[in-house]
Amino acid sequence: MTLSSISLRPLGPQDGPALAALLAACPDTGSIGSTERFEIDPYQALMALQKDPIGVVAEMPGYAGLVGCGLIRFGQCQWEGHVRPSALLNTLVVHPGYRRQGVASRLAKWREQLAHQRQGPGGVLWAIIQRNNTGSERTAVKWADQFLESRVATVPLRMRTASPPRSGHFEVRPVKPDELESVVEQLNQYYRDYNLYPPETRGSLAAWLAETPFDTPFRHYQIVADKAGSILAGMGLSENYRLRATLITHLPAGLRIMNRLFHVIPASGELREAALSRIWFAPGQIQAARQLLERMRWEWRARCTSLMFSADIRSPLMRLLNVWDRYAREVEGIALRAPVPCTRDRLFYCG
């Protein structure tokens, strides 16, 4: 095969079955190995998970399926005190039978050129890379000018087996439409100094809650309020388990030992995840946020095996985790290209 024989085209709705076959042939090869089983059409699932990413696929003569795929998601983010265009690069995969033949380079170049066309020189290009994923690291070296190792912790929080004690001081409940403005104000205030945070508006949060590939809601926003009705903390939840299951194919020895003790990953290796995001709490109200988190771990116990939580390892949000959950986490790096280098001690938004 030569580079000239590879053809690239946009990913489309008709590619669902071929995309599923490609992803099944390409398990994640980082320190934690995993693959996915989709519960709905893979194209629809990706659109829901990634919020309308743009995809590119690679084909070649003589092969009926896809030999590669890459995604890019555009938006805006805070970067070093200013709001800039952003592009997140993810899901770059190449079929094992066609690796080391230039497919990944072509896909990566396509995404990089599209980002430049959309953003110009003032945008932020970034990717989260799992530790020991050498293929992704080699690709990132070609476009990134900064790489921050061990900055993002992704934790599967196991569900509760007993109801958490109720507090007479707090009320946990879904957010009301007329409270969205207050929530957004406090959410933006919480992340005002974070890099990569996409500023929210009442409209953007309402739209996020309304988006669903099903006939029923797929996303939820829960808050905790005090007796006076003041909102003290909030977090969003996406029912990703309705879209796909994650199948763990490999754990490092240390995590296998920890998992035998703390049972974060089920014995079957199958994770049905709900993803947490847009988490914040008012100054001095971490106990209120913990009450909210524990209630969610209990109320969703029959529907999923874990709540997935990602944060900068130095973020105050990491203090929400219980001791046993800290042991079963994957720490990832961030590859970056930005017009202004990041301040090393500035926190990153990963939710």
Domains of the chain: 3-153 (3.40.630.30), 155-329 (3.40.630.30)
Query: Nearest-CA neighbor of 182 among 207, 199, 202?
Result: 202
CA dihedral 155, 160, 165, 167 (to 10 degrees): 40
Q: 49 exposed, middle or buried (CB, 10 Å; 0-12, 13-18, 19+)? A: middle
CA–CA dist 86, 148 (Å, integer): 17
Residue 56 — very low, low, confident or very high, per pLDDT cuts 50/70/90? very high
Q: What is the pLDDT of residues 174-222, one digit of tens each?
A: 999 999 999 999 999 999 999 999 999 999 999 999 999 999 999 999 9
Residue 17 pLDDT greater than 90, yes or no: yes
Between 105 and 205, the more confident residue is: 205
- Res 67: pLDDT: 96
- 98, pLDDT greater than 80: yes
pLDDT band for 351, please (50, 70, 90 cuts).
confident
The pTM of the full predicted model, rounded to 2 decimals, is 0.89
Over residues 210-238, the mean pLDDT reads 96
Instruction: Report whether 277 contacts 342 (CB < 8 A).
Output: no
